[in-house]
Amino acid sequence: MTNFGRRLRWPLLAVALVLIAVGWLYLRPTSSRDQRAMAPPSHGTVATVAVPRPRGSGAAPDPEVRPEPPKFSPSKLPPAMQRVLDGNPDLAQYYALEQKVLPTAEERSNIHAMLSDPEMIQTVKNSLLATETSYSKDAEAKRMVGVEFLSDAINWEDNPSRPAVMQAVEDVMFAQNITSEAPDELAESLAGDKVELYTQMLHRSPDRAELLAEHARGKSVEPLLAYAKDSYDRETAARKADEIH
C-alpha cells in the first residue's frame, strides 16, 4: 500500500457511513405516499478513494493449486469476519495476501492468479448478488471482502480477465437487489457496495465508468452514481490543491 493509501484508509471508512446513507435515499423506491423527487444535496461529506497498493508482475501459478488458507487470530478480526474467512478458504487466502504491505514475488503471483481466475470472479459476483431479506453482519462481511476483491481486480491494470471483472462490476451496479421492503440497515449496506465499486472504476477506468453512467440514465441507480462522481471529483480536486500547496 502506498503512503497515500495508508493515509486514506481510515478516513474512507469514516465517510463511507455517510455516503452509504445518502446513496440509499436515491436507490430506495419512494412510496405511493411520497412521490416527490429527491435531489442530491449540494453539500456533504466527500468520498475518498483508496489508492491501490502497487502490484508486481509475474506468471500466475495454476489457479487450481493454491496454498492452504491461513488461520487468523480471533483477537485481531471481528467475529463476523472471522466466521466468513473460516467458511470460505479462497476468500481467506485472498484476504491474507491482500493485507500484505510488501508481498513477495510468489505472493504477488498467487494473488494475481486469484484476481484473474474467471471462476472466482463469478463466485464473488454471485456472493454480492445473493438474495438478502434481513441485515446480517456475516453477510455484510462477506460482501466487504468481495468488493475488495473486485476493486483489486480492477486496479490490476494487466489483469487478463479485466473484461470479466468489469462485467461483474456492472452486473452488481445494475442489480435490482435493494427493494422497498429491505430494512434500512441492509439497504444502506447494499448501496455502499455499489458506491465503492463505482468509485474504484472512476479511479482506474474512467472511460468505462462514464459508459456505465450513460447506461444508468433513467434507472434507479443513476442519482447514486451522479452523487458518487461529484464526491469523487471534489475529493480529487482537493487532494491536488493540497499537493500544490
pLDDT, tens only, 83-135:
999 999 999 999 999 999 899 999 999 999 999 999 999 999 999 999 999 99
pLDDT, tens only, 139-177:
999 999 999 999 999 999 899 999 999 999 999 999 999
What's the domain range around 98?
73-244
Domain assignment present for residue 57? The answer is no
The model carries a pTM of 0.69
Q: Is the pLDDT of residue 36 over 60?
A: no
pLDDT, tens only, 187-209:
999 999 999 999 999 998 899 89
Q: What is the 3-state secondary structure (H, E, C) of 42-84?
A: CCCCCCCCCCCCCCCCCCCCCCCCCCCCCCCCCCCCCHHHHHH
Q: What are phi and psi of 242, to 5 degrees?
A: -65, -40
Q: Which of 85, 58, 63, 90 is nearest to 74 (CA)?
A: 85
Please, what sign has the CA dihedral across residues 164, 99, 78, 198? negative
pLDDT of residue 72: 52
Domain assignment present for residue 26? The answer is no
Domain assignment present for residue 149? The answer is yes
Domain assignment present for residue 146? The answer is yes
From the number of C-beta atoms within 10 Å of its C-beta (0-12, 13-18, 19+), residue 127 rates as middle
Domain assignment present for residue 48? The answer is no
Separation CA 20–CA 9 (nearest Å): 16
* 28 grid coordinates: 430506495
What pLDDT band is residue 244 in, cutting at 50, 70 and 90? confident
pLDDT of residue 205: 87
Question: Which amino acid is present at 103?
Answer: P
Q: Is the pLDDT of residue 16 over 50?
A: no
Do 92 and 146 touch, CB atoms closer than 8 A?
no
Domain assignment present for residue 34? The answer is no
Question: Of 26 and 154, which is predicted with more confidence?
Answer: 154
* 19 grid coordinates: 455516503
Domain assignment present for residue 136? The answer is yes
Return the residue matching grid coordinates 470479466. 164
Domains held by the chain: number: 1
Domain assignment present for residue 12? The answer is no
Do 139 and 145 touch, CB atoms closer than 8 A?
no
